[in-house]
Structure 1
Amino acid sequence: MLSRTANSLYWLARYVERMDFVARMLEVGLRMGSMSGTSRDSEWTSTLIATGCEPGFRATGRPLSADGVIPYLARDPDNPSSILSCISTARANARAVRTALTKDMWDAVNETWLEAQALGDADFTQTGIARVLDWAKRRALQFNGAYKNTMLRSDAYYFTQLGTYVERADDTARILDVKYHVLLPSHEPVGGALDYHHWTALLRAVSALRAYHWVYKDRIKPWNVAELLVLRPEMPRSMRASFDQIVVNLDLLTGEMNTRGGEPHRLASELHARLKYARIDDIFTAGLHEVLTDYINRTARLDSEIRRFFLM
């Protein structure tokens, strides 16, 4: 496979996953904003930090409020991580490798782009944005279902999988880190009513509330939420599950290309081993924020090494 084809498939998957993540983060911000006792500044600051968009937003001079943050994260063409920007970039990558996609994959991306063109100002207000966020999440699920159910298991599929799970590992670490570090209540103990609602909002954002109760059969506790999203392999959005897939697809790619593993394989295997054998008590002892920040930085380095080894 040509490196430019692999590059487009990798980034196509990453931007679809990012669109889904930004939609979920906006949902968290809206849910937390509706809770009494929540600081509106902290709720939107945390949303911007989690999506990596805070510096860009500050540069616009917009107010730190729903009316300022929602349009920036949902539709601003100058924000490369806004929902509509992710859709446009995903479609551009899909067009570049149209012949490498199945019909269902192309339809999922192209129809999303066409429907996005029909969205108007009313769709990006506080009253209209909920419908857009639900639509974006459904469209991401449609794309993921399309490629997982129609692509031939070859290097094209492995690069698409790799993009999905590198992005997901980073996103899960970010959303968990922001909740724990930025939104940790300062005026009440951990485990208080407001803290409970914050963790519930986070679990809803990653579609894990029912999974949490199924696994733990207990009231929501921060260390259990962290364990579910960091270490539990059966939770599909957990960091552990994401690195399970990253390692598998890197191994499949080297087998498909008849080449030896390189720095991406070493980094991914190291991070995977840490997640596989870690205990949540040890992670909290070391500091959850410090551990998650380290994983975010190492995942960014892994992305750089993947691009250097395979895509350049």
Structure 2
Amino acid sequence: MLGRTAHGLFWMCRYLERAENTARLLEAGFHMALTRDVATAEEEWRSVIEAFGQRAGYEAKHGTYTGHQAWNYLLRDPDNASSVLAMIGAARTNARAVRNAISGELWEAINESWMEISRLLARPVAQSSVGEAVQIIRRAGTAVHGAITGSMLRNEGFHFARAGTFVERADCVARILDMKYYLLLPSLSYVGTSLDTGQWDQVLRSVSGDRAFRWLNAGRIEARQIVEFLVLDDRFPRSLAFCHSALREELAALARMHGREGDSNAQMRAQATRLGELTIEGIFEQGLHEFLLEFMEANHAIARAIAEDYRFLS
């Protein structure tokens, strides 16, 4: 497979996953901000913007962090190259460039999602429409993932697409966790309070993990168990352990097809060993923020190695 085709499939799914996770995080911030006073609500929105590294761009345009400004910046602002609208457009551009490598059903799912979301975000989104916007974006992600799983030949293209999905999902979940632990909580005095519990509940909802977590933990909402669930529980398809386990399988499949392993396979094995030896006690002893920074850097290094191994175009 040509490097440009692999690049297009990999980034098509990265952009789609990033758009969906931006919407998920926005929804969590929206619900948190609704329960806070004006000053604290602005802090919530600042943390959401910062979680995706968009603070500099946002502050170049806005002097305050009101909800209306924040969610429209994340969803549709033409000056934000990382808005949901821009990422869905980038995913469609990549999909169009690799039309011959994807199924007709997948192209239709991406193109129709782009048209629906473009119409939805053609005008500023009011508070009453935020929930609808998030649901449509999340539904688009579900439709695309279903088309990939249900209609794509299990060839190189499928594995590059899936690899892009899991690289991006791991990064986004790590950012969401880091936002809660390092940015969101205003003071250690809030730990264990209803505010703290409510924020952790929203984190679970933002990754669609609230029901699964409650089923496994008899309804208890405790930070330590939530971190263990989102980092180490490989039964949950958005945990860091699951994402890297799935990514390792996709890269192993590509290595078999190409008859050789690359640096990305070696890095994945090393990362699998690190995660396999981790305990929740070890994570908190190191510091959750420090662990997440280390994880995100390893994840970025793996993504770079994939691009080098398969000669992606820059």
* Residues 33-85 of structure 1: CA deviation (Å, up to 9, x unaligned): 01136812220111012222122212223531112111110012332221100
- How far apart are 1:187 and its partner, in Å? 6.2
Q: How far apart are the structure 2 equivalents of 1:206 and 1:77?
A: 27
Percent of aligned pairs with the same residue?
36
Pair 1:140-2:141 in alignment:
yes
Residue identity opposite 2:138 in structure 1: K
Structure 1 outlier segments of 4+, above 4 Å: 120-123
Match of 1:164 in 2: 165
- How far apart are 1:184 and its partner, in Å? 2.1
* Residues 165-190 of structure 1: CA deviation (Å, up to 9, x unaligned): 00001011100011011112416341
Match of 1:203 in 2: 204
Is the CA contact 2:43–2:65 (under 8 Å) kept in the aligned structure 1? Answer: no
- The farther-off stretch of 25-34 and 301-310 is 301-310
Q: Secondary structure at the match of 2:91?
A: helix
Match of 1:98 in 2: 99
Match of 1:55 in 2: 56
Q: How far apart are the structure 2 equivalents of 1:120 and 1:290?
A: 37
- The farther-off stretch of 20-29 and 122-131 is 122-131
Match of 2:268 in 1: 268
Gap regions ≥5 residues in structure 1: none
Match of 2:228 in 1: 227
Match of 2:26 in 1: 26
- How far apart are 1:147 and its partner, in Å? 0.3
- The farther-off stretch of 42-51 and 157-166 is 42-51
Match of 1:304 in 2: 304
Match of 2:81 in 1: 80
Residue identity opposite 1:161 in structure 2: R
TM-score, normalised on structure 1? Answer: 0.96
- The farther-off stretch of 181-190 and 140-149 is 181-190
Gap regions ≥5 residues in structure 2: none
Match of 1:282 in 2: 282
- How far apart are 1:265 and its partner, in Å? 1.4
* Residues 121-141 of structure 1: CA deviation (Å, up to 9, x unaligned): 656122212111100000001
What is the number of equivalent residue pairs in this alignment? 311
Is the CA contact 2:106–2:147 (under 8 Å) kept in the aligned structure 1? Answer: yes
Residue identity opposite 1:255 in structure 2: R
Match of 1:4 in 2: 4
TM-score, normalised on structure 2? Answer: 0.95
Q: How far apart are the structure 2 equivalents of 1:207 and 1:167?
A: 16
Is the CA contact 1:123–1:132 (under 8 Å) kept in the aligned structure 2? Answer: no
Residue identity opposite 1:306 in structure 2: I
Is the CA contact 1:25–1:51 (under 8 Å) kept in the aligned structure 2? Answer: no
